[in-house]
Chain A
Amino acid sequence: MRVPFSWLKEYVDIDCSARELQDILFGCGFEVEELIDLAGDFNRVVVGEVTECVPQEGTHLFLCKIDAGEYGKDIEISTGAPNVYQGMKTVAALDDSTLPGGIHIKARKMQGHMSYGMLCSGEELGLNEDLFPGSEVYGLLDLPKDSVNGTPIAEVVGLNDYIFDIALTANRPDCNSILGMAREVAAALDKPLKMPATDYECTDYEFEGFQVSVEAPEFCPRYTAHGVHNIRYDQSPQWMKRYLALCGLRSISVVVDITNFVMLEMGQPMHAFDLEKLESNRIIVRRAVEGEKIVTLDGKEFTLNPENLMICDGSKPECLGGIMGGLSSEITENTKELLLECAKFERDNIRKTSRSLGQSTDSSAHYERGVSEYTVELGMARALHLIQELQVGEISRSHFDIKNGQPFEGPYEEDGLHFTGTLSGINRILGIEVPADTVLDILRRLSFKVTRDGDHLDVTAPRYREDIEIGDPDLAEEVIREYGYDKIIPTFMKDATVTSGGLTPEQQRREKVKQCMCAQGFYEIQTLSFYSDADLDALHFAADAVERKCIRILNPITDRLSIMRTTMAPSLLTTVVDNIKFGNMEGRMFELENVYFPKSLPVTELPDEIPHLGFAVYGNDEDFFTVKGAVEGLAQEFGLTFEYERAQDVSYLHPGIAAYIVCEGERIGVFGKISNLVTSELSLPKDSKANHKIFLGEIDYPKLVSHIRTFVYKPVSEFPAVVRDLALVADEAQECGTIVKEIKNACPAVSEVELFDIYRSMAIGKGKKSMAFKITFVSDEKALSPEDVNRFIKKILGNLKFRLGVEMR
């Protein structure tokens, strides 16, 4: 919000500088995002009187001599402006001066003559007609004759001013106006607030038979309107134009300017209807009918629905309530009678309508923050006062006031919320002792009415403070805001109970999983929890795949981020592809975060959030077994034994190079190389695709965890282990895992089976392979003799031959 320093001073005698005020406002909760010094850009730009003015022959230039007071009496400056004349007082930017926008003026030769500066137009000073009359005249700015030569120009044209650009917090809509900020400044400086005049006198004139009704009080809890007649179409006075301009509004006509002025001054948006253009003698505030249309003042047409509030005459929409008036009842120079509207519209509805129509105005912005009924009453009175004071028209007797849908005849409330508090309660919240007199003084300055009875406070909030609601905490905030947050003494919970804290065993385990992955060369990544159907398509998930039964976001920012993920695979693959594009030719990555499954579709209750451990491995040195090694590492970390089943039905994985991870008979995850089809469709240069071996894996984390037992030490056998090598001949298709399982099943004394070589040759036979295993035997009961081991081997070989047709080489 833009707040001109000079405008604030209309209501408070401010005796500190703008910079000091900025700090004071910051301390009491109003962050000045930018303090704009309007004179800050000017340097050595002063009032100069043209004492001589001679046309230079053969050029369009005039050779002038300028009297710039203390800066020099006969400064030679050339100008091409045709409106220059001897005796003119204008703007002289002297040698080595600065204009707005950092434009630097230096003495230079023009058409053979030195010119020690530049004479300026209003536009070159950044002025417009509203800020300073005559600014938009073509040529030099013609200053009043009583301007003193050598005076810095900002003082003369009203730019010796500051704009506070203030960021308001959502709880203080009452400060969304010059008056609102003036109240705070008055309180902070402990100065009286000079309330703007709101008195006016009505004529006997009445708009007979005119009716106002509110059919949608849920969107419009308060609606007031007042008839004005004998309108005189005119320009606004300069002071009003200037204030509007400093706040970024252009002057239009005095009636419209008054409504805008009241909006800025009081925070109350207003609207004026040309009464002659209304189709009947009535105003109806109602919801729009589905498909109803309105053309607003800016010429845009909108199609409405019943969630939009309309201000209508007897037949047609005249105003998009709280947002913008309609073109048909616009005030013009021919307007003779008008109806001023001043209302409170419900802020949520204004916001929704404004967003859904894409129509945002200063008015809607005010309503979205919130407008109080106090402001409605004050704003109407102020506007009527200004109409009378500026002789814009006459105030009729026709006043309409509808509160909650019913005619309201007053009296207006005087006070806001009445509640009780305690001094001790305030201090208990703050943790310091604020002297009682200080508390009372601060609340008085903030216009709270307080009576004190010992510790007890009886408080009445001002009407505009609709944010006050619960007593001591509100009072504590008001007090400390003015008393100063630097008075708070940091304490370290001296009166609090000691509590034990820290991670639960489950939380610690999660960290251990991450550490285990890191130890195996994986980098943790963080990917978005949502992606798109296209991401699932890219991995060829079937239409009925469980991964497709996902949660959809009703209002995604983009289709690319529209569904909650059910698998980590797309996130991982995207990250791999990104990294290849970054030029990272190999990598290991993991993420342990949630996937989301609805309990039912459509979603009716909170879904399941299941953490998945997703991992991706790619690069020339990687293969299925390096990835499997990482998976085994994880198993080892938690004392688990994983088995592997061929995974041929995972849409994105290579059917021959993928495995389910099985733990105690339960599938807990899957990993493998991405299929040739998926690889071929990656958005990578064609020639590079084949070079990337990409492996993806995903483990259902809760399932993994469910198999982890509390660690207890297992006794080590007192007897030494015996190791035997065994070379077996098997069919090429025979899987190693089956043989290992069979060896283990055949003999309880087998503690470990490790494949250490695979060998193929003509001697072994076509379609056959020789597999060499190292088998470790150990017994808890005795030292195994060679005979014992021979017996075991015999049993193992017997079983292998019988069950698998595998024989010793």
Chain B
Amino acid sequence: MEDKIKELQAQMAEAMKNISSKEELADFWQTYLGKNGQVAGLMKNLRSVSKEDRPAMGKLVNQLKKETEERYQKAKEKQEALELAARDRKEQIDITLPAKKRTVGSLHPLTLTRNEMVNVFSGMGFEIYDGAEIEDDDHNFTRLNVPQNHPSRDMQDTFYITKDILLRTQTSTGQIRYMDAHKPPLKMLSPGRVFRSDSDATHSPMFSQMEGLVVDRHITLGDLQGMLEKFCQQIFGENVRTRLRPSYFPFTEPSVEIDVSCFKCGGEGCSLCKGTGWIEILGGGVVHHKVLANCGIDPEEYSGFAFGIGIERIAMLKYGINNIGLLTRNDLRFLRQFQEV
């Protein structure tokens, strides 16, 4: 009996070595450890062993069974690990294949710019007023102190719907609408589309502006520069400076252009600022007495400043866009880039 046990032990050790698949593992189980396996056979044979030897033999057989089962378990785990590793290898992918597309879109650069500008002015206490795009002559011109024979009224520049109804040529219409409804102190920002019929390579018949208006007691030209300097610093960087230049708008007196020091070269002169160190940004001025009076605000008591910014221009400067046409072409290859912003 003891010999038989040893023989089986050796046989099983040999068989175990040769196992290299799940199937062989199952065979091994069936041959040796299963219900009708050889170990079970040994168990049955114990009956033929003498009574006095039986406990010792039984112990040996049990030990053999236990040891074999443990080894079987280890072999099984090893085999499974091998097979999973094989599956891993099989499942290997080409990690250099293109990534799956991001499914997020983005806002248009004009909206991004507009939002950034709105945020800056919101923080300064400006309310946002959405004016109408189709306006009347009164709000677009007359009450803004644009006299009846002013060149900007000419058919060349303004799209007319009727003699009196037109597509607004400037967001300045917001000044009148807002001052009709609100009395000082007030701070208003009115962004939106405007339309002009002088279309060519560098002018679109439609573009975007942002009008700003502050009316209060003791508002000065210095305040206009101070506030817009803060705006420029938030948009273009803390180190930029501004300068005023005389200009003319019918609805402000004095009128100024505001230039910002070139944020690319720091004022040294480069291609962006055409060597001048300064970049034209916006126009503005002290609100004309007649405009205040036209809105029922006493110009002796209140003063204010107004400004208008071209959103396309700011967007182009901010993002380095050199062709205004890109902003209305809606080419997805262009728009996709603004996910980054």
Q: Using CB atoms and an 8 Å cutoff, list the residues of chain A in contact with chain B.
A: 26-29, 31, 169-172, 346-348, 351-352, 355, 368, 428-432, 470-471, 473-474, 476-477, 480-481, 485-486, 488-504, 507, 511, 514-515, 517-530, 551-557, 561, 564, 575, 578-579, 582, 584, 587-590, 593-594, 596, 602-607, 609
Contacts and interface: CB of A to CB of B under 8 A. Distances in A.
Contacts of B250: 171
Interface in B111-125: 111, 115, 118, 121-125
5 contacts: A170-B151, A429-B221, A499-B186, A554-B160, A579-B331
A603 B331 contact: no
B221 A431 contact: yes
Contacts of A171: 248, 250
Interface in B181-234: 185-187, 189, 193, 195, 197, 199, 205-206, 214, 216-223, 225-227, 229-230
A496 B155 contact: no
A480 B155 CA distance: 35
Given A170-B150, A470-B253, A492-B230, A521 B103 contact: yes
Nearest to B336: A523
Interface residues of B, number: 87
For the complex of A and B, the 10 pairs showing the least CB-CB separation, nearest first, are A431-B220, A431-B222, A29-B246, A348-B149, A169-B248, A477-B254, A490-B226, A497-B185, A495-B218, A499-B125
Contact of A355 (B150, B154, B226): B154
Contacts of B330: 525-527, 575, 578-579, 589
B155 to A, nearest CB: 5
Given A470-B288, A522-B105, A496 B219 contact: yes
A551 B151 contact: no
Contact of A594 (B133, B248, B290): B133
A529 B222 contact: no
A99 B285 CA distance: 46
Interface of B: 103-108, 110-111, 115, 118, 121-128, 130, 132-136, 148-151, 154-156, 159-162, 165, 167, 185-187, 189, 193, 195, 197, 199, 205-206, 214, 216-223, 225-227, 229-230, 242-248, 250, 253-256, 286, 288-290, 303, 327-333, 335-336
Contact of B136 (A355, A470, A490, A606): A606
B159 A556 contact: yes
A554 B244 CA distance: 39
Nearest to A517: B105
Given A522-B105, A606-B135, A485 B288 contact: no
Interface of B is mostly: mixed
A561 B159 CA distance: 11
Contacts of B106: 518, 523-524
Given A501-B123, A503-B128, A603-B161, A524 B288 contact: no
Contact of A493 (B103, B165, B199, B227): B227
A485 B245 contact: yes
Contacts of B110: 526
A584 B331 contact: yes
B334 to A, nearest CB: 9
Given A521-B104, A594-B133, A492 B254 contact: no
Given A493-B226, A607-B134, 20 more contacts: A27-B246, A29-B248, A355-B154, A355-B156, A429-B286, A473-B289, A485-B256, A490-B229, A494-B223, A495-B216, A500-B127, A503-B128, A523-B106, A523-B335, A524-B108, A527-B328, A529-B195, A553-B160, A584-B333, A604-B162
A557 B149 contact: no
Nearest to A495: B218
A502 B119 CA distance: 8
B162 A428 contact: no
B261 to A, nearest CB: 13
Nearest to B338: A523
B115 A499 contact: no
